[in-house]
Structure 1
Amino acid sequence: MKNPLNGLGFPLFAPFEKLHKITIVYNRTTGGEKNEELALTDDDTLEDVRQVKNTLTPTGVKISVFGLDEKNIKKLKNIKTDLIFNLCYGIGNRSDSEKELYEFFDTLKIPYTGGPADAVVLTNDKAATKKLLLKNTIPTPEYLLISSIAELDPVKFRFPLFLKTLDLGCSIGIDQDSVVLDRTALVKKAARLLDKYHKQILIEEFIDGREFAVTVVGNGRFSEVLPVVEILFGPLFDKSTRWKIFDYESKWQINSPFYVQSPYKCPAVLDRNTEDNLKKICLKTYKLCGCRDYARIDVRMDRQNNPFVLEVNLNPSIGRHSQMHKSAMALGLSFRDLIKTVISVSLFRFYGPSYISSGRL
């Protein structure tokens, strides 16, 4: 079967007979305090590790797993491997350590998936990302960044608004109270986020409409937008008058009825012009932010079909449950095909086109 992603201009399946060993690296967060929100996301990472290992084992390449933390990171300097499959979100339990991690990976002179460090730093800072997007005429909701409640006093707001932390991912801190309709609710939610997470708060205009996840794979001119995923919000959202947002409960709490009522649909139902415009914006965003190998762009679309980029996610979840896998399935790719594609674009970037063979393996 021909790889449906050959629009990238080269075969996307690297010659695995040239590979002897692939090392899956993830950040091990055992020990220390860990809140319930982070625990669920860590469990998800471990499941991704298991799935990637299991799907690569039949290829004949030796697959090893390295749980990285502050104590053993230096051991990576002596690692003998052909590629690092990167499933890290930092170094152990340390927050804000992704830049250091990627810079360390660079010193190894070994190809690794994802990155680079500069793009990680940029996209982790949601305000800096939005500033860059607006400067380059890419639509994103207008925003305000605050460090204290006092900064709200002189500002006149147009409601509804949406609140989230500046740099936490995985919808941590996002719930139904994240959408606010008046100043009282705004102050209450902002105070709660500041008190709990001790991070700056991003306040942006709320886009009432549909929500999409758009995966881009590749590098430079060899970058391809995969079929668009829409997050659907079932009838329970209407019955309970909940905001149709992909909040933490809907994304992670599998025993919640709202988790079940938030399925993915791919390809999303869009007219040709709307889909083309959405993909064009996401591809431009991917390249502008310096994304590498693969990333996911989160988008809201208003009732006039105008898309607004919310966030750029480097190194997003890649397991069988992920939006990225859903996009690959819409192209007829298996999970193994998807993982081999990510490996191949990384090797293509690192070694050049001469490394890639002419046929599917």
Structure 2
Amino acid sequence: MDNIPVDESSHPLRVGLTYNLKKNAALNVAENEAPDMEAEYDSMETVLAIKNALEGGNCQVELLEASEELPLKLMKHDIDIIFNIAEGIQGRGREAEIPAIMNFYKIPYTGSDETTLCLALDKALTKRVLATYHIRTPRYFVISKDQTKFSESFTFPAIVKPNAEGSSKGISEVAIVSNPSELKSLVSKNISLYHQDMLVEEYIGGREFTVGILGNGSELRVFPPMEIIYLDQQNPFNIYSYNVKQNYKELIRYECPAVISKEIETEMVQTAKKIYEILQCKDFARIDFRLSRNGNSHRENSHSEKIYFIEINPLPGLAPGYSDFPMIAEFNGMNYDTLVRSILNSALKRYGFHFYLS
């Protein structure tokens, strides 16, 4: 399958849409299973929304669920490029499964490559890399799933999250711990549910933001930061948990562009762009930040607002009316269909195609 980009004007662009589908397994969750086990997967409504957006741009779309049969399906279809939203099936490197397969078969695809996706899914490893570029991030340590003892000298409060998950998977309403006893109990519970290492991170009190990025190189566009504003201002530890995302209409509101100083906005946008380029992201990504309160970041000698990188998602959700990335685009005057086609156009240009969607 040696797909070389050529002039596509003679026929519709043939796009394969790869995805992992929710199977509603959460409705039959056993006591020892995580209730958010399918949080990263997409609904058929999202898959069809992307398909419709691409077909509206004169594409011929083949739906290709990212299962064990995918390589056989690829052999049956003549695909020009893959639009990938698949999260993968298993393991710390699962988001890399589809890009790796596409590279093996020499099929172009949207989004970041397997190396970037592997790195970004490992939260601690991403922080370690970015720290060498002086990107500010909360203090953290990792508790191995096989570890029986760990330091009790960490600064509290802290947030506990699975080290290699997305979509707030494993981040519950009780993810904040205030002492070593709570930490030990929550880590033990989470390891039994998610069967992986846990990231323990200093909780940064303050405001929460996410920044969307679209495109590559000189055409890269960084959208203004969107703030996630929690309606319950009495809660001292508001976090963008799985439950909050599921019930966002009742618990939060979004503001984009965020009401922040020009200096803070510029720093956040420039930091997001720097992270995107350091990790060699492609086509689109979303990056989360916390802005500490004046003198209230839980660090000594802190008397001014500071921006902290929390995590990056180089494969952000595209669920219309729900996912943050299309919300950010819409706040900035870009409708859903245009966003989807823009992601594909960015990939087409990278691969040297002579076909672009309007």
**Contact 1:149 1:190 (C-alpha < 8 Å) held by counterparts:** no
1:143 aligns with 2:133: no
Aligned match for 1:296, one of 286, 295, 309: 286
* Deviation, structure 1 residue 47: 2.7
Cα distance between partner residues in 1 of 2:15 and 2:260: 39
* Deviation, structure 1 residue 101: 2.5
1:335 aligns with 2:333: no
Aligned match for 2:214, one of 208, 214, 217: 217
Give the letter for the 1:286 counterpart: Y
What is the aligned length? 334
The equivalent residue for 1:177 is 174
The equivalent residue for 1:280 is 270
Aligned match for 1:244, one of 238, 245, 253: 238
Q: Which has the higher contact order (CA 8 A, sep 6+)?
A: 1
**Contact 1:144 1:202 (C-alpha < 8 Å) held by counterparts:** yes
Cα distance between partner residues in 2 of 1:319 and 1:30: 16
Distance 1:73 1:98, change over 3 A: farther
* Deviation, structure 1 residue 16: 7.8
Cα distance between partner residues in 1 of 2:36 and 2:249: 15
Distance 1:202 1:57, change over 3 A: same
1:23 aligns with 2:34: no
Cα distance between partner residues in 2 of 1:45 and 1:285: 30
Aligned match for 1:229, one of 226, 230, 236: 226
With normalisation by structure 1, the TM-score equals 0.84
Q: SS of the residue aligned with 1:285?
A: helix
**Contact 1:227 1:330 (C-alpha < 8 Å) held by counterparts:** no
**Contact 1:317 1:324 (C-alpha < 8 Å) held by counterparts:** yes
Q: SS of the residue aligned with 1:25?
A: strand
* Deviation, structure 1 residue 25: 1.2
Equivalent residues in 2 for 1:85-234, closer than 5 Å: 85-91=83-89, 96-147=93-144, 150-152=148-150, 154-234=151-231
Q: SS of the residue aligned with 1:74?
A: helix
Note the aligned Cα RMSD (angstroms): 2.6
1:316 aligns with 2:316: yes
The equivalent residue for 2:64 is 66
Distance 1:27 1:110, change over 3 A: same
**Contact 2:64 2:73 (C-alpha < 8 Å) held by counterparts:** no
Give the letter for the 1:337 counterpart: T
**Contact 2:95 2:114 (C-alpha < 8 Å) held by counterparts:** yes
Distance 1:70 1:29, change over 3 A: farther
What are the Cα deviations for residues 227-266 of structure 1, in whole angstroms up to 9, with x where unaligned?
21111101xx235x362111010012x4xxx652222221
Cα distance between partner residues in 2 of 1:72 and 1:25: 9
* Deviation, structure 1 residue 151: 3.0
Cα distance between partner residues in 1 of 2:113 and 2:72: 20
With normalisation by structure 2, the TM-score equals 0.85
Cα distance between partner residues in 1 of 2:123 and 2:40: 19
* Deviation, structure 1 residue 78: 4.1
**Contact 1:77 1:108 (C-alpha < 8 Å) held by counterparts:** no
Cα distance between partner residues in 1 of 2:24 and 2:215: 36
**Contact 1:99 1:121 (C-alpha < 8 Å) held by counterparts:** yes
Bigger CA drift: 79-88 or 276-285? Answer: 79-88
The equivalent residue for 1:307 is 307
Give the letter for the 1:319 counterpart: A
* Deviation, structure 1 residue 290: 1.6
Cα distance between partner residues in 1 of 2:66 and 2:218: 33
Uncovered stretches (5+) of structure 2, i.e. residues with no partner: 1-6, 294-303
Distance 1:342 1:72, change over 3 A: closer
Give the letter for the 1:341 counterpart: S
**Contact 2:152 2:180 (C-alpha < 8 Å) held by counterparts:** no
Give the letter for the 2:217 counterpart: G
The equivalent residue for 2:299 is none
Identity of aligned residues (%): 28
Cα distance between partner residues in 2 of 1:95 and 1:274: 34
Cα distance between partner residues in 1 of 2:76 and 2:219: 32
Cα distance between partner residues in 1 of 2:56 and 2:214: 24
Cα distance between partner residues in 2 of 1:95 and 1:158: 27
Cα distance between partner residues in 2 of 1:264 and 1:134: 29
What are the Cα deviations for residues 321-361 of structure 1, in whole angstroms up to 9, with x where unaligned?
22211221233212111111101100111117xx367xx83
